[in-house]
Amino acid sequence: MKRIALLSILTMLSIMGFPQGCLDPLLRQELFRYSDDESIEVVVLMKSQYDLTQLCLRAELFPTKAERRTFVVNELKTFAEASQHDLKNILSEMEQQGLASSIRSLWSANALYFTTTKTALTELAKRNDIESISINTRHQLIPEMGMSRSASASSEITPNLTQVNADQVWALGYTGAGVVVAVVDSGVNYDHLDLADHLWDGGEAFPHHGYDIVNDDDDPMDDKGHGTHVAGIVCGDGTSGSQTGVAPDATLMCVKTTAADGFGGAVNIAGGMEWAVEHGCDLINLSQGMAGAGITDKEIFRRTCTAILDAGIVALVCAGNEGLSILQMAYPIPNNVRVPASCPPPYLDPDQMANPGGLSCVVAVGAVNYNDAAADFTSRGPVTWQDTEFGDYAYNPGIGLIRPDVCAPGVNIKSLDFQNTSGYTYMDGTSQATPCVAGIVALMLQKNPELMPDEICRILEETSVKLTPNKSNTTGVGRVDALAAVNAVPAWDGVNESTVTKALVYPNPSMDFVTICAQGLQRVEILDITGKKLITAQAIHDEFHLDIRQLVAGIYFVTAVTEQGLLTQKLVMTKH
C-alpha cells in the first residue's frame, strides 16, 4: 500500500506527459528487458546548469588558487543542492520504501546516480527538472596492456626518468616537495616503503591517506595493482632500491575509483576527481578512462572537467591503449581516445585554432618508447564533441579536437608492485606515460604554486621535444622534457603572476567594446567558433580597445599575438 501511495505522489509531482526525450535511447531499449520491480542503475542529468562562463569570470577575481578553488567548489555545490533539492526529497522517500538506493550526487556535473525500479523510473521521467536519464554502464576503466612483469630492486634511476631529464631538475632543488598529487585510480598500496613517508595527511577522518569511492569508505588500498604502479611513477622515492618517481618528494593523495576487476562507471571517476579537488589536491593523475562511452557519460566528464578547470586544477589523463583497435575498427577515429582524455585542454595550441572550442582541465597524454617513437598501442585522435550538448570541435568537415597534447615514456616502465611493500614490476601503457607528466607538473608547481592549468599546458607543449612539425594526433606536440619545462616556469615570489602569460579581456560578456591586455601585445584577432577570422587589428601598446559592435550575439575567441606567442581567451558577445 505504501509503495502505491508513493508512486501516486511521484505522479502528482510530475509535470506534463511522459517525455520520451528525457530517457537515453539505450535506457529506453533496456527498459523492455526489466520487470516492473527489477532494479536499474541510472544517472540523471539535471536540466538546470550553472553558467560556467560567468563562473569562470567570477573565479578570475580571486587572487590565489586556494581562494579560487574554495569559491568554485562552494558555488557549484550550493547550486547543485538547490536544483536537486526536490528530486532528492522524492528519492529519500523512495529509499525508505525500498524503491531507490545508493543515491549519490555530483556537484561538478549537477547529476545524480541511484538505483531504482522500472515503475518508479517511468514516473520520475515525467519531471520537468530533469534533462536526461541514462542507464549507468560499467566499463573497463583501466586500459591494461597485458600482465605486469616482475622486476628486481636494483639501485638505479629508472630510464624513463632520465629520458625526460627529471634527474637534472632534482639537481636544481625541485623534487615536488609540498605539492599534493591525487592519484585517482584502483587505489594505492600506501604501505609500500617508497611511498610511506610522503603520503597525504587526512587526519582522523581519512587515516589511510585518501578515500575509496567504490566502497564508500576511508581505505583506498589497491586490490588491482594499477594505481600503485602509477603512484610510483609520480613519486616513488627509491627507499627500496629503485628511483621510480619523477617527483620523489611530492605528497601522494590516494583516491580509489576502480573495483578489483578494473571496471566502473563515469560516476566513480567524476566522484573521485571531485573528492580530490574538495580535499586540496594541487593536480590530478587519471590513468584510466572509458572506451566507447555514451553521450551521457561524455557530458558528465566534460561538465566535471570544465568545473575543475574553473577551480584552477589541472588533470593529466591517459589517452588510452586502443591504438591497435583502429585496424580492427573496434574504436575508430574519432572515438579512439578514451573519455575524459577526449575532453579539451586548458590551452589551445595554435594548430588547434583552425577549429577552436571550449576548454577543460584535461592534458591528454600519449605514449612513446625509449627511442621517442610512438607506442603502437597509444590511442589516436582527433575526437569530436559535435554530438553532445557542447556541440564543438566538429570532426566532419572540421579537423576535430587534436588529441593527445603531449606524450611520455610508456613502454617497459618499472615502478612499484602492490603485492608487497618493497617490490617492483614492469608495465606498459599510456597509464604509465601519464604519471610521468604528472610528476613533471609537480616539479613545476613546486617552483611556482600559482601556475594555472592553461599556463601548465602551454609550458608543457612549448618545451616538449618536437616529434612532428605540427601538433600530432598520435604524439601531440611531442615528448615532455622536465628540465626545459621547469626552466620555463616563471619564479614565484609570493605574488600571483598568472596575468603575465594571459590575455585579459574585459568586460566579458560585452555588447559593444572590449579591452585586451597582454604583455608585448602586437596584434588582436577575433575568430568565430569555426576559426574564421572576423576582426584583425594592430596594437601599439599592451592595452588595446576594440569595437566589436559589428558582431552578432554568440561565443568568439580573442587571439592576442604577443612577443611570447599566441594567447587566447573566450569572448561572449551579447545584445540588448
What is the 3-class SS of 525-552, one letter each residue? EEECCCCCEEEEEECCCCEEEEECCCCC
pLDDT at 326: 84
Grid coordinates belonging to 142: 583501466
pLDDT at 143: 74
**DSSP symbol at 392:** B
Fold category of 2-136 in CATH = Alpha-Beta Plaits (3.30.70)
pLDDT at 499: 41
pLDDT at 248: 98
Alpha-carbon gap, residue 304 to 574, rounded angstroms: 26
Q: Which of 224, 153, 235, 237 is nearest to 194 (CA)?
A: 237
The residues, ordered by sequence, that sit 6+ positions from 563 with a Cβ below 8 Å of its Cβ are: 519, 520, 522
Alpha-carbon gap, residue 1 to 117, rounded angstroms: 16
pLDDT at 6: 47
**What does each C-alpha distance from 534 to 270, 508, 542 come to in angstroms?**
37, 18, 21
| Phi and psi based region of residue 98 (left: phi greater than 0; alpha: psi -120 to 50; beta: remaining) | left
pLDDT at 495: 54
Burial per residue of 479-488, b for 16 or more beta-carbon CB atoms within 10 angstroms, e otherwise: bbbbbbbbeb
Would you state the CATH architecture of domain 503-573? Sandwich (2.60)
* Bridge partner list, 407: 366, 479
Stated pTM of the model: 0.84
The residues, ordered by sequence, that sit 6+ positions from 234 with a Cβ below 8 Å of its Cβ are: 181, 183, 245, 246, 247, 250, 252, 285, 435, 438, 439, 442
* CATH superfamily name and code, 140-488: Peptidase S8/S53 domain (3.40.50.200)
Query: Which string of DSSP letters, residue by residue, matches 345-376?
Result: PSS--GGGGGS-----SEEEEEEE-TTSPBPT
The series of mean pLDDT values per 10 residues for the chain, 576 residues long, is 46 40 80 84 94 83 90 96 96 93 96 92 88 91 70 83 98 97 98 97 97 97 97 97 97 96 94 98 97 93 97 98 86 95 96 92 98 97 95 88 98 96 96 98 97 97 98 98 97 59 75 85 85 86 87 85 81 71
Question: Hey, where are the domains in the chain?
Answer: 2-136, 140-488, 503-573
Identify each DSSP E strand in 467-540 by its residue range.
Answer: 478-479, 504-506, 513-517, 521-527, 533-538
Q: Which of 82, 86, 103, 111 is nearest to 9 (CA)?
A: 86
pLDDT at 566: 79
